[in-house]
Amino acid sequence: MVPPAHGGARQPARMWERGEDPDFGRVAYFTDAVYAIALTLLVLDLRLPRMTGDSDSASSMLAALNDLIPKFVSFGVAFILLARYWMANHSFFTRIGRVDRRYIGISMFYLAGVAFLPFPTSLVGEFEANPISGVMFALTLAAVSGLETMLMWHAHSAGLWREPMSEGVHRWQIIGSLVPFAMFLATIPLAFVNTTVMLLSWLVIGPVLGHLVGSRRPEGAVED
């Protein structure tokens, strides 16, 4: 066994600094790539089913498009939410001055949720009447939100920010990140009433809650 260095003293965690180490930029590029692929995969489920009757008939085409409405809804909601998560992550990463192994490890779980989202999106589009599809959709988004909160918490506790952040601003950011997490879990019962209603409710409830949290923004906080 190799004896620990410096008389057994614990070595400081390895960090990659912004602008000093190319591995720092690779974290951002990898995150953007996962988001780009996930957003692209969402559209692959939008395929026109085989039309009944005359394929040159406008009514046949409209009937086929009408059958795609659940898929259009699930695609639209998933795209809007994923785009919002990317925008928040982009803003978050611009304020990070360094990353460590734990940050990267949490990011892998966070990005796993992002990459997985096209699957429940497809389930909702195909089996809109089945509440389990909506439950999986909500749980996946809740997991992404929860892991986003973990990234913020770790960035603060490990001193990864470019500029020091007050405890008040940190608490406000954590609360803001937990709001969508709570919303997705709280609206799961709506899936057993109507999955589409649950999805559309996020586009209404989310901005309202976001406005309420934003109205309590402490001095020095940066809006995502």
pLDDT tens-digit map of 137-172: 999 999 999 999 999 999 999 999 988 888 888 899
Residue 98 DSSP label: E
Residue 44 belongs to a domain: yes
Q: Is residue 192 part of a domain?
A: yes
Question: Who has greater pLDDT, 214 or 133?
Answer: 133
Asked whether residue 222 is assigned to any structural domain, the reply reads no
Residue 161: inside a domain, yes or no? Answer: yes
Task: With beta carbons less than 8 A apart as the criterion, state whether 94 and 155 touch.
Answer: no
Output the pLDDT for position 1.
42
0.75 cut: is pTM over it?
yes
Which SS3 state, helix, strand or coil, does residue 13 take?
coil
Tell me whether residue 81 is in a domain: yes
Over the Cα atoms of the chain, what is R_g?
21
User: What is the model's pLDDT at position 3?
Assistant: 43
The answer as to whether 43 is a domain residue is yes
In-domain check, residue 130: yes
The domain of 91 spans: 16-214
Q: Which residue has the tokens 């709001």?
A: 179
Total number of domains in the chain: 1
Q: Residue 221 pLDDT more than 80? A: no
In this structure, is residue 122 part of a structural domain?
yes
56, two tokens? 């040159």
